[in-house]
Amino acid sequence: MVSGADSGGRAEATGAIATPCAPDLSVRLGNLVLPNPIMTASGTFGYGLEFAHLAALDRLGGIVTKGLSLVPLRGNPPPRIGEPRGGMLNSIGLQNIGVEKFLADVLPGLGKFPAQVMVNLFGYEFDDYARLAERVDSFAGIAAVELNVSCPNVKKGGIEFGHDPVQLERLVRSVRDVTGKPIAVKLSPNVTSPVAIAEAAKAGGADVISAINTVLGMSIDPWTRRPSLNTTRGGLSGPAIKPIAVRIVHDVAKKVGLPVIGIGGVETVDDVVEFLLAGASAVQVGTALFRDPRTAERLVDGLASRLVEMKIERVSELIGAVRPWENA
């Protein structure tokens, strides 16, 4: 070996350079502490347990369940997905097993993992959200609730509340009144001012902002002339929407003063670092899991290596550490 040319090899051989301490990946979302900032996004990982044979659940920082409603939902008719360049267009329509089946059959199995379990809740009626939150409140295995007020794929409920600051504040307050668990509110990007919506959520008592849900989109097959989705319009996700998500995370983190979970096109360690710099305290991996079910655990390892490379001891040091241009 040429002297000094390969310090890594030499360190290994002589033990002269101590192995750097494993960086601290833990992050806080209000009162909630995650072992690491990598979570799975609602609707992309089922209820968590189905994929135990494909992904190492014990490595995740948090799991957000598929959106749960009071009663099971059948979802939208097919076709439900389209694939524009660099992303995915979906109109699943919140097909889910319902909150009761989740609590009885799924939740007990999730208890053995260190990941914090966040249940995503969806309602058609205003009162549904508080009823759902009240129903799950006594379950110790549920660390937090995430309110879906931004799904573009159902005509009624949800998005009605997520686009109107006045209604949203009331809705969040109705949930705040019935649960002591941290409340995350998942924002729609399809509004003029996501910051105003986030402020309303905060005023209602939200602890965390999840940003963003899918971007409303549409695609048409040039040969069959059919929209790729049965519902014509649907939600765009994947790498195509990342810059939109980074912008909203940045603005909300800066102006609202609540911890933010960054969602939208997270696939690489660079993506994670970018969201953290923009102000996210954690990220959710979504569509990338469909391409590779092991994306989330890969990001946990990759982030640890990246921190070592950057000589940063705690991942929290990156949160909001974007360096704005001097004239900005």
Partner 1 sequence: MQPIDTSGRVVEVVPHPLPYFSLVLEGPPAWRETQAGQFVMIETSAGLEPYLRRAFSVHDVSKTDRGARIELLAKIVGPGTREMAHKRAGDTMKVLGPLGKPYGAAEARPSALVAGGVGSAPLLLLGRRLLAEGKRFDFFYGGRSAIDLARSAAFAELARESGGEFIATTEDGSAGERGLVTAPLAERLRQSAYGKIFSCGPMGLLKRLAEMSAEHSVPGEAALETEMGCGYGACLGCAVELVDGKIALCCKDGPVFACETVKW
Q: For binding to partner 1 (CB under 8 A), which residues are involved?
A: 43-46, 50-51, 53-54, 74-83, 85-88, 90, 92, 95, 228, 238-239, 287, 289-294
- State the nearest-atom distance from the C-beta of 298 to partner 1, in Å: 12
Show the tokens assigned to 280: 């996210």
- Angle among Cα 49, 55, 60 to the nearest 5 degrees reads 80
User: Shortest approach of partner 1 to residue 179 CB, angstroms?
Assistant: 27
Q: Which is nearer to partner 1, 279 or 286 (CB)?
A: 286
Rounded to a whole number, what is the distance in angstroms from the first to the last CA of the chain? 49
151 included as an active-site residue: yes
CB nearer to partner 1: pick between 49 and 216: 49
203: phi > 0 → left, psi -120 to 50 → alpha, else beta; which? alpha
Instruction: Output the smallest distance, CB 87 to partner 1, in A.
Output: 6
DSSP 31: T
Which residue, 102 or 161, is less far from partner 1 as judged by CB?
Answer: 102
Residues in the chain: 328
CA–CA distance, 30 with 182 (Å, rounded to integer): 8
Please give the C-alpha separations between residue 91 and each of 181, 191, 200, 201, 215, in angstroms, as whole numbers. 30, 19, 27, 26, 12
CB of 79 to partner 1, least distance (A): 5
Yes or no: say if 277 and 269 are a contact pair by the CB < 8 Å rule.
no
Coil vs helix vs strand at 169: helix
Nearer to partner 1, 37 or 238 (CB): 238
Closest C-alpha among 236, 120, 118, 216 to residue 163: 216
Catalytic residue chosen out of the listed positions 63, 97, 151, 248: 151
Q: Residue 60 corresponds to which tokens in the numbers above? A: 């995740």
Cβ 44 to partner 1, closest distance in Å?
A: 6
**Smallest separation, CB 240 to partner 1 (Å):** 8
Nearer to partner 1, 32 or 263 (CB): 263
DSSP symbols for 33-81: EESSSEEEPTTSSTTSGGGTTTS-GGG-SEEEPSPB-SS-B--PPSP-E
- Which residue shows structure tokens 């940003």? 211
Q: Note whether 33 and 26 are within 8 A (CB).
A: yes
Is the Cβ of residue 37 or residue 43 nearer to partner 1 in the bound state?
Answer: 43
Among all residues, which ones are annotated catalytic?
Answer: 151
